[in-house]
Amino acid sequence: MRMTKALRQEQLRRLKEVYGETKTALHYTNPFTFLVAVMLSAQCTDARVNVITQRIFPRLDSPEKMIALTLPELENEIRDCGLYHAKAKHLLGTCRMLLDEYGGEVPQDFEALTKLPGVGRKTANVVRSVLWGYPAIAVDTHVFRVSNRLKLAVGKTPLEVEEGLQKAIPMEDWSAAHHWLIWHGRKVCHARKPDCAGCFLRDVCPSAPKE
């Protein structure tokens, strides 16, 4: 199957039709709690993160409250999250920087966000897109996998895929398409055993098994 502009447009049309109303699966109450949730979600499912944040956010919903904890105390709060040692250290460092440099508020600037401990390109893109509507495509494992399988954007690194998606998708759809691809990866295009037989993109997917 040769990839063409028309084929990519048809893929996007169908993804939008099916997932057009989807939003982030992470639960949050304010910009700080969303930043925390996204930071916790690295190598951890959103469902697991929501269990953790439901437990801690009633008490730890601001950098002032979170930084009052010691490192061992915060580690204990998020112990059921993958990489919790590193994440607790990053969270406390982020809280300190937010208080010292941004008046306790989460900055909207991309460069400012990526200077926060534990905040990389993907996290910054997700935060800016979801909280403030900036056009951005955050490439997580789902987006990376689905984009490569569909040949919507092909790349060996998340940045290569991000740049390819920016070319393939109209800017006004960047933020929404990020969610379409995530949900398709969760529901259909699974990492180990994609449900190609039941996929609504099968006839326009170059990676689908031939009849």
Per-residue b/e over 53-88, b at no fewer than 16 CB within 10 Å? beebbeebbbbeebbebeeeebbebbeebeebeebb
23 is catalytic: no
Active-site residue, from 16, 23, 80, 140: 140
Active-site residue, from 61, 89, 122, 195: 122
193 is catalytic: no
Distance CA 98, CA 122 (A): 19
Residues labelled catalytic:
122, 140
